Amino acid sequence: MDLMEAIKGRRSIRKYKPAPVPESTLQKIMEAVRWSPSWANTQCWEVIAVRDPKIKSELATALSKGNPALSSITDASLVIVLCGKKGVSGFKKGEATTVKGDWLMFDTGLAMQTLCLTAHSLGLGTVIIGLFDHKKVEEILGVPPNAEVVAMTPLGYPAAEGIAPKRKEISEFVFNEKYPVKQ
């Protein structure tokens, strides 16, 4: 699949068929994640693949009833929980090297984008889920204190297409030379 086609064609998918994702397909996606860029190649991302229906049901309790992605957690046969190791990205000898502190959110974001685009190119759907009780998910999955859960996504065969929400025009976010002065 052409890169622009993959970028523009990927949608958040919230309805899934129950069919399992072949292990070889998951490996292909993880191979792509492996090659994501990261701060000084620190690769702080960690991935938990959840297939057990009981654990998936527990994960669903961490989402509010109003989250439009709620049912996708239990409908899809596989849920990917993306974690990051703390104090690695953006750090040198244990000290943060920029005012931004930990770049964990940035690097795991890049990994998630790689995951979603690769999944789409292989005919699979994803929806990045960030609105949930992170502490609850860390408890359910036994994530240690030196790592944290960032986001999750179901990974599976779409049962319905997503609708593309409107995007800003390029002129609304690209500025020349300096940040524009507010009128």
Ligand X SMILES: Cc1cc2nc3c(=O)[nH]c(=O)nc-3n(C[C@H](O)[C@H](O)[C@H](O)COP(=O)(O)O)c2cc1C
Which residues sit at the interface with ligand X, rule CB under 6 A? 11-12, 67-69, 127-131, 151, 162, 165
Q: Which is nearer to ligand X, 73 or 143 (CB)?
A: 73
- Which residue, 138 or 182, has its beta carbon nearer to ligand X? 138
Min dist. Cβ of residue 34 to ligand X (A) = 21
Closest CB to ligand X among 12 and 77? 12
From the CB of 160, what's the least distance to ligand X, in Å? 12
Whose Cβ is closer to ligand X: residue 145's or residue 165's? Answer: 165
C-alpha dihedral, 100 to 101 to 104 to 110, nearest 10°: 20
Can you count the helices (H) and strands (E) in the chain?
6, 5
119 phi and psi, to 5 degrees? -60, -45
Query: Among 83, 55, 75, 63, which residue's Cα sits nearest to residue 154?
Result: 75
Nearer to ligand X, 70 or 143 (CB): 70
Q: Work out how close the CB of 182 gets to ligand X at its nearest, in angstroms, rounded to a whole number.
A: 27
Shortest Å distance, C-beta 141 to ligand X = 17
For the bound state, the minimum distance from the C-beta of residue 151 to ligand X, rounded and expressed in Å, comes to 6
CA distance 90 to 130: 22
Is residue 128 a contact partner of residue 12, using CB atoms and an 8 Å limit? Answer: yes
User: Whose CB is nearest to ligand X?
Assistant: 130
**In Å, what is the CA distance from 46 to each residue of 43, 49, 104, 107, 144?**
8, 10, 11, 11, 12
